[in-house]
Amino acid sequence: MSEYVVILEKGRGNWSAYVPDLPGCAATGRTRATVLKRIREAIEFHIEGLKAEGEPVPPPTVSAELVKLSA
């Protein structure tokens, strides 16, 4: 099982998500929960497509860290 970093961004009326290690893999949704569900589906679909085309599946390489600041 692989774990990919997913970047979530809140917009004015929706959420968006993308996977830095899987170029072109993105999703949107009205809520955070919806976009998380859709990005999971998008990741699975993206990887299935790569395999079907005989392309290599990029391994997870991106990591993330939250940095707290007191400003």
Domain boundaries, given as residue ranges, for the chain: 1-71
pLDDT digits (tens, 9 = 90+) for 7-18: 999 999 999 999
Compute CA distances 17 → 11, 49, 68, whole Å.
11, 19, 22
Measured between alpha carbons, how far is 22 from 45 in angstroms, rounded to an integer? 11
Q: Note the pLDDT tens digit of each residue in 33-51.
A: 999 999 999 999 999 999 9
Which CATH entry fits the domain spanning 1-71: 3.30.1360.200, 3.30.160.250, 3.40.640.10, 3.60.40.10?
Answer: 3.30.160.250
User: pTM surpassing 0.85?
Assistant: yes
Q: How far is CA 3 from CA 21, 35, 59, in A?
A: 10, 17, 9
